[in-house]
Amino acid sequence: MGKISVTALGGTREVGKSALLLEAGGTRVLLDYGMKLIPKEHPEFPPIPEKVDAVLLTHAHLDHSGSLPRLVSHGHDVPIYGIDITREYSELLLYDAIKVAKLKGHHIGYGPKEVRRTLNNFRPVEFNVPFRVGDLEVTAINAGHIPGSAMFHMKYDGTSVLYTGDFNTVPSRLMPPASIDDIPPVDILITESTYARKEHPPRAKQEFLLKEIVIETLKSGGTAIVAGFAIGRLLEVAMALRARGFKGKLFLDGMARKSTEITEYFSNRVRDADDLKLAVRTITSVRNWHMRKKITKRPNVVLTTSGMLEGGPVHYYMKERKEDENSTITLTGYQVDGTEGRRLIEEGKMEIEGEETWVMMKVNQLNFSAHVSRSGILKLIRELKPESIMVVHGEESEEFANELEDKMGMAAFSPELGEEIIF
């Protein structure tokens, strides 16, 4: 049996800068190549490997894609394999990364030229259609996380590896669940573990609460501001509100507008293209400052970025309504320590457009996570019965791996940063 090795370049016992270097035979592939955004600090990047033949990109989120243009800066103009829509989302996010870095005075090691070259290196692949990368036979499998998100199944000399990337085993409004039944036999499983030690609250309850918040806010004459990620999340929120019978107007602002256009164009990548179309038809894009200003003058619902209140149009809306106790700001996901969203929840104040501000609006936090929960990961493990399990992409990766070993007698581990594992 040939040797396979995996070097943990980043994103193992942390969420951010996901990057693994897999070597099989003479072939070296990067499994994702992300960046880590840290509130108030300079972003972190994985090291640049000597030689790379290709990148397998699971999905467009910056913690998986954000370092790709650094490869071309170092002369690695290598093919990047991913699902078609991943290229379009990546284009949006990578150019935005440059914009944000400029704003914050960060040096990320690339500009528009490197992003253009990176985008030229994309090679679209299709789910369940095997392709060759050197000595590896690779198959992308729907991961259910965001449109186009893929797991990669890799086969070399009789040994198979599955790298899950971010995945979800339960359906959402936007996405079908990961296609676990399509996964061929697996010897080595490399799994994400963001929520490996938690269960999510029932989604139906979250949807119900969201609808209640929005309706109550409008009734009392306030503005209902809902903050979420541009890719996937705000569209999920819009679809949930529609599905729960909310018929009012929904304004959509920030990067989510462009992301929604992309999703609409690739509607074969979502669970139900007709559902998507219905939801999109009822969304009003905020196109200019004139519209933006009008929205907060009346009771309205606005869905906007950024998800952790680190910037974006959400700051404008909050600045306008911050003293209005009838208005609401609803966060739709986990708030990383040190972000303005986390501060708002814990301290009731945050920095809005550079100014420290008390917020009198009602603050709500809901969970619309697109990540698999503990029971989903365990289900995947039970289905696949791998010989060894490498746990990555989680603040508690190590604890989860230990649990798998001690309580369930499985060969599981979470590598240290920089560690090389030989299978």
Q: Which residues in this chain contact Zn ion in the complex, by CB under 5 A?
A: 61, 63, 166
Question: Sign of the C-alpha dihedral, residues 35, 36, 42, 46?
Answer: negative
CB of 65 to Zn ion, least distance (A): 10
Cis peptide upstream of residue 306 (ω within 30 degrees of 0):
yes
b/e map 115-153, b = 16+ CB within 10 Å: bebbbebbeebebeeeeebebbebbbbbbbbbbbbbbbb
CB of 165 to Zn ion, least distance (A): 7
CB of 246 to Zn ion, least distance (A): 27
Q: How far apart are CA 341 and CA 309, in angstroms?
A: 5
CB of 271 to Zn ion, least distance (A): 17
Q: Which lies closer to Zn ion via its Cβ, residue 194 or residue 328?
A: 194
Q: How far apart are CA 54 and CA 82, in angstroms?
A: 11
Kindly calculate the radius of gyration of the chain based on its CA atoms and give it in whole angstroms. Answer: 21
Q: Which lies closer to Zn ion via its Cβ, residue 187 or residue 310?
A: 310
**CB of 214 closer than 8 Å to CB of 246:** yes
Q: How far is CA 65 from CA 29, 266, 326, in A?
A: 14, 20, 40
Give phi and psi for 386, each to the nearest 5: -75, 160
Q: Which lies closer to Zn ion via its Cβ, residue 63 or residue 253?
A: 63
106 CB neighbour count, 10 Å cutoff:
15
CB of 366 to Zn ion, least distance (A): 18
CB of 413 to Zn ion, least distance (A): 20
CB of 272 to Zn ion, least distance (A): 21
Q: Which lies closer to Zn ion via its Cβ, residue 166 or residue 187?
A: 166
Which residue stretches of 312-373 are H helix? 314-321, 340-347
Q: Which lies closer to Zn ion via its Cβ, residue 23 or residue 63?
A: 63
What is the crossing angle of helices 84-104 and 112-120, to 10°? 170
Q: Which lies closer to Zn ion via its Cβ, residue 29 or residue 37?
A: 37
Q: Which lies closer to Zn ion via its Cβ, residue 313 or residue 394?
A: 394
Determine the distance from the C-alpha atom of residue 116 to the mean position of all C-alpha atoms in its chain, rounded to a whole number: 22
